Structure formats: C-alpha cells, structure tokens
Amino acid sequence: MPKALLLINTGSPLQADTWYIKSFLANFFADPHVFRSSALLRLLLKKVVLPKRAPRLQPKYQAIFQNGKAPQDLYSRQLCTQLSTAGLYCTYAFLYAPPLVLGALDKCRRLNIDELYVLPLYPQSSITTTHSALDQVNEALEKLSWHPDVHVMPGYAEHPAYISALAGSIKDGLEDLSPGREKVIYCSYHSLPMSYLKDAADAAYIEQCHETTALLSRALGGLDCRCAFQSAFGPAAWQGPFLQDLLLSHDYNRSAAVVICPGFAMDCLETLHEVEIKIRQELRHKNPAADFKYIPCLNASRAQAALIAALLKDTQAELKGRIRRPEQVS
C-alpha cells in the first residue's frame, strides 16, 4: 500500500523581493483563523497594510535567506530526503507560499498514494496554525475529489522524543559557555492575542507552551527554564511575558541568557531576524558585555528526523491498536 507523509509549515516568501512578500502576506492576511475579523477588515489589511509592510520586510528576509532560498524551504527539502524510504514518500507544503498544500496533495494523488499521514509542524497546537493547516488539507482533498485514508498526527508538545531532541540541542549549545557560569534558558513561543484565548483550543496552546518549558527544565536536571512569548504585532493586547523585555531586563552579571524557540520546528524570520539579529543588536547597544546565546531550531537535524519518525511510528501503532482482530471480537 503506497504511503505518504506530508509535513506542513507556515512557509516564507518564495523569494526575498516585494512581489513575493506581498503574495505571501496576501495569503496570510486572508486566513480567517489568523485574523478573526470581518472579511471587510481583512480586505483593508490587504489593501492598506500589505503595500506598506512588504517593503519593510524585504531587507529582513534578505538577511536570513541562504543562497536565495528561505531557510524553511531548504530544511524541509533536507528533512524529506532523510525521511523518505522505499515504502514512504515524504513531501512538504506551506500554508501561505509555494509549495502549497493543494499542489503537494495533487502530486501524492498522481503517485497513487492511498494512505496519507499529515503532520502539521506545530508542537503546540493552536487554531492559528494547526487548524489552518488541517482546513487547507480538507479543502484540497475536496477540490481534488481524492479520498485516501488520511491520518492526522497530533501535536507533540509533551512527546518524550521532542523534549529529548530539544534538551540535546540545548546541551550542545551550552558547550561553548563557561561551565561554571549560571544560565537562564528562555523558551520563546509565538504569542497570541489575548482575545483569542477565550477559545479553549488557543488557551490550551498557552498551557502547552508552559508544559514544554517545564518538561525541558526537568530533562536538563532542573536548569532554570522560563517561558516567554514573541512576535506580537498591532495594537491589540498579546500574551506575555515578552522575550524582548525579559532579555533587556536580564541581569547579565548573575547569569548568561540562552534562547531557544521550541514552538518553531525550523528557523524563520521570527527566530533568525527577530531574535538572532534584532534582539541581539538591541542587547549590544544597551549592554555590550551581555552574555547572550541563541540556539537554532531543530531544522533538518538528525534529531528532528528521528523525532518525526517516532511520531509516525506512534501514530501507526495507535492505528493498529484500533483494528480489532477477528479473535478479539466478542
């Protein structure tokens, strides 16, 4: 039985120029899960905000692209190569830029895939991410009139393989810091507007962020791990505490500040520019001696591939357990 694994992420503009950035933002602004306002207000965002925002974002994307490619695109390709086997075709799709979900699923259909595993690469699930991804999958399957066996792999905020992979990444990242130096690990996640937290699914997302942070602290032998949030924009109130505020007020005389972004499966604008470039520059301006380190996302590491393989194995085992063998039927 031909099987496929579809990895879904937010994505980045195909190229770091204003036309592609506008296209990406237009799709992003049109998502009712992300912007929960009237269609008219979303249209105003597209017509008024987008033309101003795209040129401001261009130099930021240019600063993080690698050989003209978005990091998420490069890492996704590498990850699929690692995960593909003779019995499993692994591919990827983005929500707001090519390769889009519809195109990825159409290729699976043409390959005669009849069993499809879907993994939204959002460890902590929210309506703005996981729900958007699954809606796009359902819409694409309907457009294609294609009905394979679809198995959605759940969020993995507390999965042992995920916590182990993050803990290993942190340990590796701490090796170049002074062994006797005190350290605070700031675990930074994408924030959500406070108004969204009235929905149980989004409130659960915040709880999952705190749980991941607590599990990481335990896996690191009680190391001081603190939950933080980032990437808020606009005038609305957002969930805090904010990473930028925490880092600017951190006492660097007492301890080093280490940042990891567990909610991002792969490095992107929010991690590489907002944290590694922008916040680092602000810290240097305020305190040139600040001991600050950013630890990259899991990206296309062996640990990430092993994590996804473990998630797939768990899903397949659970499905197998649901099948009642004839001798088990009472």
Task: Indicate the pLDDT class of residue 51, thresholds 50, 70 and 90.
Answer: confident
Question: pLDDT value at position 323?
Answer: 45
Contact 132, 27 (CB under 8 A): no
3-state secondary structure of 51: helix
Q: From the centroid of its chain, how far is CA 293? A: 20
Task: Indicate the pLDDT class of residue 1, thresholds 50, 70 and 90.
Answer: low
Task: Indicate the pLDDT class of residue 322, thresholds 50, 70 and 90.
Answer: low
Phi and psi at residue 127, in whole multiples of 5°? -65, -35
Tokens at residue 145, please? 């009139």
Task: Indicate the pLDDT class of residue 325, thresholds 50, 70 and 90.
Answer: very low
Contact 35, 45 (CB under 8 A): yes
Contact 7, 92 (CB under 8 A): yes
Q: Is 142 known to sit in a ligand binding site?
A: no
3-state secondary structure of 9: strand
Selection from 116, 125, 122 nearest residue 151 by Cα: 116
> What proportion of the chain, given as a percentage, has pLDDT over 90?
83
Domains of the chain: 3-155 (3.40.50.1400), 160-295 (3.40.50.1400)
Q: How many helices (H) and strands (E) does the chain have?
A: 11, 8
Question: pLDDT value at position 159?
Answer: 98
pLDDT at residue 52 is higher than 90: no
> What proportion of the chain, given as a percentage, has pLDDT over 70?
97
User: What is the distance between the alpha carbons of residues 290 and 288, in angstroms, rounded to a whole number?
Assistant: 6
Mean pLDDT, rounded, for 285-299: 93
Q: Is 207 known to sit in a ligand binding site?
A: no
Single-letter code of the amino acid located at 274: E
Of all helices (H) and strands (E), which one includes residue 229?
strand 225-230
Mean pLDDT, rounded, for 13-21: 95
- Strand partners of residue 245: none
Of 175 and 230, which is predicted with more confidence?
230
User: What is the distance between the alpha carbons of residues 330 and 323, in angstroms, rounded to a whole number?
Assistant: 14
Of 39 and 161, which is predicted with more confidence?
161
pLDDT in tens, 57-80: 999 999 999 999 999 999 999 999
Mean pLDDT, rounded, for 89-117: 97
Q: How many Cβ atoms from other residues are within 10 Å of residue 165's Cβ?
A: 22
Could you please report the per-residue DSSP string of 22-46? HHHHHHHHT-TTTS-S-HHHHHHII
